[in-house]
């Protein structure tokens, strides 16, 4: 049995250390080792985007990253999106626009939206739709989600 890997990383601004099996993905580590269960598991093969997190400023599927790979890297998860003054504008806009039903895809969409707005605070509707091509929602359809991202842009 291969030995465990010791990893030091920064998650949501806090230094974190963990031990993981080489075969554990970042998604496994976040949920099972660090109990950060806000990041959701959907397909576990890179199609649905439910497990999206931001790694060194880049949106990635945490199911397609090994836990061992994040040594020395910075990770943002849904747990870190909330600000000191309460919900992030994207989170508020999702609530106000009813951009979710079952909620499984929501953390992934919020992380995708955040990665987009961090890079392009005034993205157009077409850019939002293109950007979110890697996130699937099977409840609401995508219109309310896109409208929520557009609404969040106005309040940031």
Partner 1 sequence: MHAFDYAAPANLTEAIGLLREKGDRARVLSGGTDLIVQVREDKRQVDLVIDAKRIPELMELRFDPGKGLTLGASVPCYRLYGSPELAKAYPGLIDAAELIGGKQIQNRASFGGNLCNSSPAADSIPALIAHSAVCRIAGPEGTRDVPVENFCLGPGKNVLKGSEILVSFFIPAAPRRFGAHYIRFIPRNEMDIAVVGCGASVELTADCRKFQRARIALGAVAPTPLLVESAAAALLNQEVGEPSIERAAAAAQAAARPITDMRGTAEYRHHLVGVLTKRALRKAIERAKEA
For partner 1, the binding residues in 73-92 under the rule CB under 8 A are none
Choices 41-49, 77-85, 90-98, 138-146; region in contact with partner 1 by CB under 8 A: 41-49
Using CA atoms, how far residue 93 sits from 75, 98, 148, 153, 156, in Å, is 23, 8, 5, 9, 11
When the beta carbons of 63 and 100 are compared against partner 1, the nearer one is: 63
Residues touching partner 1, count (CB under 8 A): 34
When the beta carbons of 73 and 92 are compared against partner 1, the nearer one is: 73
Q: Are 51 and 39 in contact (CB under 8 A)?
A: yes
Backbone angles phi, psi at 25, to 5 degrees: -80, 170
Task: Catalog residues that contact partner 1 under the rule CB under 8 A.
Answer: 1-3, 5, 21-23, 25, 44-47, 49, 52, 55, 58-61, 63-66, 68-69, 71, 112, 115, 130-135
């Amino acid at each position: 049995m291969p030995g465990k890997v010791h990893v030091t990383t920064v998650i949501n601004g806090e230094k974190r250390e963990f031990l993981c099996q080489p075969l554990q993905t970042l998604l496994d580590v976040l949920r099972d080792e660090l109990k950060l269960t806000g990041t959701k598991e959907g397909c576990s093969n890179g199609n649905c985007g439910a497990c999206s997190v931001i790694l060194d400023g880049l949106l990635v599927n945490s199911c397609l990253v090994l836990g061992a790979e994040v040594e020395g890297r910075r990770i943002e998860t849904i747990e870190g999106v909330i600000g000191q003054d309460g919900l992030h504008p994207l989170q508020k806009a999702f609530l106000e626009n009813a951009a979710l039903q079952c909620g499984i895809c929501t953390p992934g969409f919020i992380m995708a939206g955040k990665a987009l707005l961090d890079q392009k605070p005034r993205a157009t509707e077409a850019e939002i739709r293109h950007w979110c091509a890697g996130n699937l929602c099977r409840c609401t359809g995508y219109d309310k989600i896109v409208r929520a991202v557009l609404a969040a842009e106005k309040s940031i």
